[in-house]
């Protein structure tokens, strides 16, 4: 196995013994919603999904192996006021270290819309799109791999 050298976000060079890095787990499906309270009531009360937790603008529901995230900020970002929200969604890939994944995917030609940024106290994300414009992101801790 060959060693690949990657620029490590703001920390010089690291060596990665896995040139075959791949995304392997979709952890969240994020849907843009206009009114979080109304959306939570629908998914919880009408469809029976359990709410795992909420933070301002977001609700995270148990989707049976995948978390359904309802997001007001996603709706504001991807749809104009009055536009239908069907299709305002994002697939979120869980990673062990957002910066390592960002560097590996960038090296393969993935063009990021948003570079790694802090989302919660411990979680980071970086956003990109597939060739058809579907919104995708990587999500996880930063600097998890020492």
What pLDDT is stored for residue 88 in this prediction? 76
Beta-carbon contacts of 23 under 8 Å, excluding residues fewer than 6 positions away, are: 93, 95, 101, 105, 138
Supply the range of the domain harboring residue 105: 4-11+25-140
In a domain, 30, yes or no: yes
DSSP 87: T
90 inside domain: yes
Closest listed residue to residue 27, CA positions, set 138, 133, 120: 138
pLDDT tops 50 at residue 13: no
pLDDT of residue 83: 82
> If you average pLDDT over each of 9-18, 86-95, 113-122, which comes out highest?
113-122
Whether the pLDDT of residue 2 is over 70: the answer is no
Per-residue pLDDT tens for 45-64? 888 899 999 999 999 999 88
| 145 falls within a domain | no
In a domain, 61, yes or no: yes
Domain count, the chain: 1
pTM of the model: 0.66
pLDDT at 86 over 80: no
């Amino acid at each position: 196995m060959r060693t690949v050298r990657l620029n490590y976000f703001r920390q010089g060079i690291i060596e990665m013994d896995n040139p075959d890095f791949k995304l392997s787990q979709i952890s969240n499906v994020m849907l843009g919603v206009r009114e979080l309270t109304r959306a939570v009531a629908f998914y919880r009360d009408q469809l029976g999904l359990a709410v795992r937790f909420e933070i301002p603008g977001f609700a995270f529901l148990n989707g049976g192996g995948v978390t359904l995230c309802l997001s007001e900020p996603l709706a504001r970002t991807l749809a104009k006021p009055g536009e239908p929200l069907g299709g305002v969604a994002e697939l979120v890939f869980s990673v062990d270290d957002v910066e390592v994944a960002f560097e590996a995917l960038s090296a393969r030609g993935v063009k990021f819309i948003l570079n790694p940024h802090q989302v919660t106290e411990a979680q980071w994300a970086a956003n990109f799109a597939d060739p058809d414009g579907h919104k995708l992101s990587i999500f996880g801790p930063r600097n998890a791999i020492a």
